[in-house]
Structure 1
Amino acid sequence: MTSSATPTRASPALTLIAVCFGLFMVGLDSTVVHIANPAIQADLGASFAELQWVINSYLLGLAVLLILGGKLGDRWGRKRMYLSGVVVFGIASVAIGLIGSIEGVIVFRVVQGISAAMLMPQTIALLRATFPREKFGMAVGIWGGVSSVAIAAGPLVSGILVEQAGWQWVFYINAPIAVIAVIFGMIVLRENESADDGPFDLLGVVLLGVFLFGIVFGVVQAQSWGWGSAKTLGTLIGSFIVFGAFLVTENRIRNPLLPLGLFRSRGVGIGGLVFFVNFFAILGVTFLITLFLLNTMGHSTVEAGLRMLPMSAFAVPAAPIGAALTAKWGARRVAALGLGLMTIALALLTLAGPDTSYWYMAVPFVILAFGSGFAIPSGAELIVGSAPVRLAGVASGFQTTCIQVGGAIGTAVLSSIVAAKVATSITDSGAPADLQEPAAAGVPISGLPQINDAFVSGLHIGLVVAAVLTAVVAVLVLTVIREEHTAEEIVDEQFVDGELAGR
């Protein structure tokens, strides 16, 4: 059944404002919990493992269902899916503050993640359907700026709310934003026509969901199971077997969840890597730097947030500038430039330590903000800008999946590096094993400076790993994508339609 609900063309500017409300909520909730966790632990008696699941349950719910959310938006209406997601997100946020148990917090964090998966793909898809092609990059630049500000501002907002009102307000704050988003969105957003009305790819949904859940869950649990354990290896290998079955399924059916013809454009796959390593670094480093500032340096939650402010403040101009550069120089060059700046910033952060000036962090934070800001609109141009409008939701879902999976894996991998370094130091020093948990969180251990040094050393190793990844993908962007905007690199709607029709 095909909708015919597009009586007038939506205002591009108002559409951008409308989707940024939901985008800001989702970005904010990616990092606000990092600083609120100690207060949650004290109030609800949560264990360290339960606190990790307060973060990871949200990421799992979000990452697993993003492509499905994009497909449902293409099929049943992007405005409808976006507004439904905002409503559920707001309700879940209030429920987290009221529930009164750590188990309830984790459950409603999953609901938050699922609702975020409903709304996030629609934000880019609505922009793609509303803005003319020549202005789409600038729209995504502003989109990226809002997202970066929300992610980087999370620790500061959380610090202020936790100190002044209580940890519950870290979640309650979403309620008024959701109300404004729904009212404004109902007025200004326009519904899209249905992309297709063929049979739904239920098997593809299940297989992709199992794969994404297995990958994220396996990496998250590797810190407690061990990277070489049978559980970790079995989960990861099993997930890739399921992914192989997913690819076979998608290649054989008429109406796939993820049309594989999109990936005939090299830009789509490379653009996914750009987003993956961007948020691997941003979210992973934000998590560890927050622990460093709060625990190792002993700053208050507000002070820690203020010291991370350069990342959010300079993210405001960075993404729009990146969009303008993308329009002028092409996505290939700007994506490589952005990742190159991130590499430099991450390398410079390895010079920072407990005894160095704050400037050793502030300057790299500014460079990191510009690097990430340049990579976001150029990466979106490689993925969504090359996709046909009718598949914008699926392309946006793929893009956002790369963001969330990259962030989840980055946080888990960099945390594991720190934990392994600290564990070795504790073993070598003969210190009690129960010091492992606080030491891995950057808490100074009295009389054992070598353990304190191990945390900082592990942080620096993690920064190097992130820098290497951003550098490698920057090289891939320059070598794999040879030309900009050629028939070989852009998948047009006729090609995808023809491929689907031929199945």
Structure 2
Amino acid sequence: MVDFERRRWAGLIFISVAVSLIIVDSTIVNVAVPSIVTDLGISSTQVQWVQEAYTLVFASLLLLFGSFADRFGRRRMLLVGIVIFAASSVFAALAPTGDLLILARLVQGIGGAMILPTTLSLINATFRGRERGIAFAIWGSTIGGMAALGPLLGGWLTTYFSWRWAFGINIPLGIIVFIGILLTIRESKEHRAGNLDFVGAGLSVALFGTLVFGLIEGRTYGWWTAKGAFEIGGFSWPFALSPVPVAFAITALSLVGFIAWGLHRRRVGKSSLIEFSLFRISSFTNGNIAALVVALGEFGIILSLPLWLQFVLGFNALNTGLILLALAVGSFFASGIAGATSGRVRPVVLVRAGIAAEIIGVVGVALVIRPDAPWGWLLPALFVYGMGVGLATAQLTGVILQDVPVELSGQGSGTQSTARQVGSALGIAILGTVLFTSTAGILSTSLDEQGLAASQRDQVVSAVVDSAGSAISGLEASGQSEATADAAKSAFSDGTRFAAYTAAGFLVVGLGATFALGRGGASSRREDNTEENASNFS
């Protein structure tokens, strides 16, 4: 008989590494994207979809898999997710085209959606009282640290091997985590009757999918009037109206349908994808709002900065990873602060301090960005930003889940994870659109001022924007005037800066949302019930 009780702290390490797989994967890809652009020739829209394909499926399925794990086994769901994630990483590593890479990322999103909510619900079901707070702190610090170390690992793999190893690294890590989970974590689940809410899951996929599609593809297909050819398989869009407002209309209808369907299922005594009763818990409701907005703002640096560092300043992937290492140092420093203040400072205070540090860091980065930027000034700004991420991530998770009953921990963690991932998806879509749209507008104006012919201007703008900036070095090498190349660098720098300021604006809104948390969880108000907790395991 395996003594899982004694092994649970070792199990926490494997749980944290499991969620680190999906976090590191995202940050590794950010550094590898410039090499992917060069190797596979993907467009700027595809650059966004390489990230969004994963995040979109991830966000859409978190609620379903959180509920599924509660009923059929949290550890079982985690192990299946690890297998799917590792297997799809193989296909991503071998992808010969951008479209196949995006497809592999979609499948990775399925595996990731199985992993994240089950790690949270396993912690919620395994630890109690002060130990739970410590476990969440370790979990959050691991995420913060690995999210920042990912670019360094990705830079090293991309520079000395290939961007394909940014995905291949998931295979050995997945095997290690799979074995570790089997040996250290016991199964836990809730014995509840009722069918899973697949209709709600379908509506949530339609909701998030059409919303992100519209935000990303608006600049490609037109925000209102159709431009460009929109084709899916053998179908071509035949209308003068762009497919983007149609997508937004489907988003609105899906939202109404999702809420109405969920409430209907509750009235007839069936479980819904979201446990609506959880929203009667103030800390849960307000915490999720804050988490969504904060996650939206946190991707201002992660998306655009690696592109700017490599395509404007000319750094390689490894140097880019070394610069972003300042994030890791800040995050690890924050974990020390969180540990030292545990029990003496209310978690919501640390959340606010963390978000404030993120705002300062993002604004600091924005102030540094220009074509001839002294990159050394990025380091303190990124350190402060990383410190903010480290302070805010785990503490906000604890505040959100502190009053969620253990039997609903899967749905609770799935809901808060969905809020974060929806925020991340919207952040990539919105901030990516700000980056590329502002770059196009600024560069077009600059080239007009230089007197370039309209056809030549449009050609340069399309090359820079569609290549996500990789064409800038080509402008210098192809005989284009120095003024044209400088204009492209300046425009891309301005676009990156505007994206950072936009991110800071969202973080300010997120900071404001935390004040609705009130005391926000000085401690959990639930008392442990040993007999009830014991019944959660099988």
TM score, norm. by length of structure 2: 0.84
Q: What's the offset of the Cα at 1:289?
A: 0.9
| Residue in structure 1 matched with residue 236 of structure 2 by the alignment | none
Contact 1:152 1:308 in 2 (8 A): yes
Q: How far apart, in 2, do the equivalents of 1:356 and 1:204 lie? A: 49
The total of aligned residue pairs comes to 489
Deviates more, 1:161-170 or 1:233-242: 233-242
Residue identity in the other structure for 1:384: L
CA deviations on 1:105-127 (whole Å, 9 max, x unpaired) are 22221111101101111111111
Q: 1:332 to 1:350 in 2, by over 3 A?
A: same
Structure 2: unaligned runs, 5 residues or longer: 226-241, 476-481, 530-538
Q: What's the offset of the Cα at 1:6?
A: 11
| Residue in structure 2 matched with residue 434 of structure 1 by the alignment | 459
CA deviations on 1:291-327 (whole Å, 9 max, x unpaired) are 1111111011111111111002221232453365464
- What percent of counterpart residues are identical? 27
Q: What's the offset of the Cα at 1:235?
A: 1.7
Q: Residue 416 of structure 2 is aligned with which of 391, 399, 403? A: 399
| Residue in structure 2 matched with residue 96 of structure 1 by the alignment | 92
Q: 1:39 to 1:83 in 2, by over 3 A?
A: same
Question: RMSD across aligned C-alpha pairs, in angstroms?
Answer: 2.7
Q: How far apart, in 2, do the equivalents of 1:6 and 1:268 lie? A: 35
TM alignment of 1:261-272, pairs within 5 A: 261-272=277-288
CA deviations on 1:328-351 (whole Å, 9 max, x unpaired) are 322322221111111111222222
Contact 2:57 2:205 in 1 (8 A): no
Residue identity in the other structure for 1:39: S
TM alignment of 1:92-491, pairs within 5 A: 92-227=88-223, 230-253=242-265, 254=269, 255-319=271-335, 321-322=337-338, 325=341, 327-353=343-369, 354-428=371-445, 429-430=447-448, 431=452, 432-440=457-465, 441-442=468-469, 444=472, 446-448=482-484, 449-478=486-515, 480-485=516-521
Contact 2:45 2:216 in 1 (8 A): no
Q: 1:221 to 1:324 in 2, by over 3 A?
A: farther
Q: 1:294 to 1:194 in 2, by over 3 A?
A: same
Matched, 1:84 2:80: yes
Contact 2:28 2:166 in 1 (8 A): yes
Q: 1:261 to 1:61 in 2, by over 3 A?
A: same
Partner secondary structure for residue 351 of structure 1: helix
Q: How far apart, in 2, do the equivalents of 1:184 and 1:80 lie? A: 13
TM score, norm. by length of structure 1: 0.90
Q: What's the offset of the Cα at 1:99?
A: 4.4
Partner secondary structure for residue 328 of structure 1: coil
Q: 1:21 to 1:105 in 2, by over 3 A?
A: same
Residue identity in the other structure for 1:246: F
Q: 1:175 to 1:128 in 2, by over 3 A?
A: same
Q: Residue 29 of structure 2 is aligned with which of 33, 41, 46? A: 33
Q: How far apart, in 1, do the equivalents of 2:13 and 2:509 lie? A: 35
Q: 1:357 to 1:40 in 2, by over 3 A?
A: closer
Q: How far apart, in 2, do the equivalents of 1:268 and 1:233 lie? A: 32
Q: 1:41 to 1:473 in 2, by over 3 A?
A: closer
CA deviations on 1:29-75 (whole Å, 9 max, x unpaired) are 11222232343344445444434332221112211111111111111
| Residue in structure 2 matched with residue 500 of structure 1 by the alignment | none
Q: How far apart, in 1, do the equivalents of 2:24 and 2:313 lie? A: 24
Residue identity in the other structure for 1:460: R
Contact 2:8 2:185 in 1 (8 A): no
Contact 1:262 1:491 in 2 (8 A): no
Q: What's the offset of the Cα at 1:227?
A: 4.4
Q: What's the offset of the Cα at 1:262?
A: 0.7
Q: How far apart, in 2, do the equivalents of 1:422 and 1:183 lie? A: 47
Larger radius of gyration: 2
| Residue in structure 2 matched with residue 72 of structure 1 by the alignment | 68
Contact 2:40 2:98 in 1 (8 A): yes
| Residue in structure 2 matched with residue 499 of structure 1 by the alignment | none
Contact 1:125 1:392 in 2 (8 A): yes
Q: How far apart, in 1, do the equivalents of 2:191 and 2:414 lie? A: 15
Q: What's the offset of the Cα at 1:403?
A: 2.2
Structure 1: unaligned runs, 5 residues or longer: 495-503
Residue identity in the other structure for 1:434: Q
Contact 2:45 2:217 in 1 (8 A): no
CA deviations on 1:427-483 (whole Å, 9 max, x unpaired) are 3223522323453434545413344322222222222222122122212212x2223
CA deviations on 1:213-252 (whole Å, 9 max, x unpaired) are 2222222223423445643333223212211221122223
Q: What's the offset of the Cα at 1:92?
A: 1.1
Q: How far apart, in 1, do the equivalents of 2:344 and 2:463 lie? A: 49
Q: How far apart, in 1, do the equivalents of 2:126 and 2:336 lie? A: 18
Q: What's the offset of the Cα at 1:485?
A: 4.4
Residue identity in the other structure for 2:257: A
Partner secondary structure for residue 93 of structure 2: helix
Q: 1:282 to 1:335 in 2, by over 3 A?
A: same
Q: 1:10 to 1:82 in 2, by over 3 A?
A: farther
Contact 2:53 2:102 in 1 (8 A): yes
Contact 2:439 2:495 in 1 (8 A): yes
Contact 1:195 1:390 in 2 (8 A): no
Q: 1:427 to 1:41 in 2, by over 3 A?
A: closer
Q: How far apart, in 2, do the equivalents of 1:269 and 1:113 lie? A: 25
Contact 2:20 2:146 in 1 (8 A): yes
Q: 1:349 to 1:42 in 2, by over 3 A?
A: closer
Q: What's the offset of the Cα at 1:490?
A: 6.8
Contact 1:6 1:193 in 2 (8 A): no
